[in-house]
Amino acid sequence: MKAILFVAVALTAAPVAAQELPGRNLAATCAICHGTEGRVTTKDSRLIPLAGLPRDHIATQMRAFRDGKRPATVMHQIAKGYTDPQIDAMAAWFAAQKR
């Protein structure tokens, strides 16, 4: 009985985990500045917590950094490495995190 329950839970959870995996993996690179799961843990007021922000806002800001429309110290260089689908995946993942 326990084995059947485990398989049922694993099969149910697998699609959700598979959908979140690309965004979570890409977002891991942001942790050094923006904190694990987008929650800044330092007192540095320049660092913005990304957890729980609207998906469209995060994606728009990332594209602005990437395209040189928003000034930055390092974000413009970091954002250049991401495609639109990757930015959308990260934005969706951060938006789904609790603040």
pLDDT of residue 74: 93
Q: Tell me the pLDDT tens digit for each residue of 9-30.
A: 444 444 445 666 789 999 999 9
Cα dihedral 39, 17, 88, 37, rounded to 10, equals 10
Residue extents of the structural domains in the chain: 22-96
Short-list 55, 60, 57, CA closest to 23:
55
pLDDT digits (tens, 9 = 90+) for 66-93: 999 999 999 999 999 999 999 999 999 9
Fold topology of 22-96: Cytochrome Bc1 Complex; Chain D, domain 2 (1.10.760)
Q: Which of 39, 38, 44 is nearest to 91 (CA)?
A: 38
